[in-house]
């Protein structure tokens, strides 16, 4: 089979796909599938750098800021803060793992770290709040 397009990096190998971003020919070894589309390695790197942070982490960030602000208002039970903290820790840990595996957007790294720190802060604060309440009553 000497006909057909060749891989841009490996001239002696037939191309099996074209990069969805830059259009260069790719052999099986060079093809990286993101979502449903084939990409070359440099384009995958660009995509990861430019990808927006996961919306889940942004929601968790909002929840945790709210939880922190609401803590002084929730006199009896710091439940919203506790839930927000728990969600923040779980979601950001999952996102950090995805980023480390190269599946998540690198741009979201800082945000995920902030959410994890806030989440732990909220967990510790609401736990301390509960302990203080129990102590006082």
What does residue 56 show for φ and ψ, rounded to 5 degrees?
Answer: -60, -40
* Nearest Cα to Cα of residue 21 among 4, 5, 45: 45
- Contact flags string 42-61 toward Zn ion, x per CB under 5 A: -x------------------
Q: Per rule CB under 5 A, is residue 27 in the interface with Zn ion?
A: yes
Residue 118 interacts with Zn ion (CB under 5 A): yes or no: no
Residues 6+ apart with CB under 8 A from 94: none
Which of 106, 64, 108 has its CA nearest to residue 87? 64
Select from 17, 18, 25, 30 the one that contacts Zn ion (CB under 5 A). Answer: 30
Per the listing, tokens 């302990």 go with: 131
Q: Does 10 bind Zn ion (CB under 5 A)?
A: yes
Identify which range of 28-36, 48-56, 88-96, 126-134 contacts Zn ion by CB under 5 A.
Answer: 28-36
Q: Which stretch binds Zn ion (CB under 5 A): 27-35, 53-61, 63-71, 85-93?
A: 27-35
| DSSP letter string, 5-23 | -B-SS-TTSB--EE-TTT-
Residue written as token pair 């490996």? 10
39, 21 Cβ separation under 8 angstroms: yes
Residue 22 Cβ, how far from Zn ion at the closest point, in Å? 3
Q: Counting contacts by CB under 5 A, is residue 22 touching Zn ion?
A: yes
Binding of Zn ion at residue 17 (CB under 5 A)?
Answer: no
Using CB under 5 A, list all residues that contact Zn ion.
7, 9-10, 19, 21-22, 27, 29-30, 40, 43
């Amino acid at each position: 089979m000497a006909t057909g397009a060749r891989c841009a990096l490996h001239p002696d190998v037939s191309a099996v796909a074209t990069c969805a971003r830059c259009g260069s020919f790719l052999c099986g070894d060079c093809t990286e599938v993101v979502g449903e589309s084939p990409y070359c390695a440099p384009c995958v790197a660009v995509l990861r750098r430019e990808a927006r942070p996961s919306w889940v982490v942004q929601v968790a960030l909002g929840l945790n800021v709210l939880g922190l602000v609401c803590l002084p208002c929730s006199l009896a039970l710091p439940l919203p803060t506790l839930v927000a903290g728990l969600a923040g820790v779980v979601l950001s840990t999952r996102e950090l793992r995805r980023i480390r595996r190269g599946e998540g957007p690198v741009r979201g790294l800082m945000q995920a770290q902030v959410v994890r720190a806030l989440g732990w802060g909220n967990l510790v604060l609401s736990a301390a709040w509960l302990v203080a309440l129990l102590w006082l009553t």
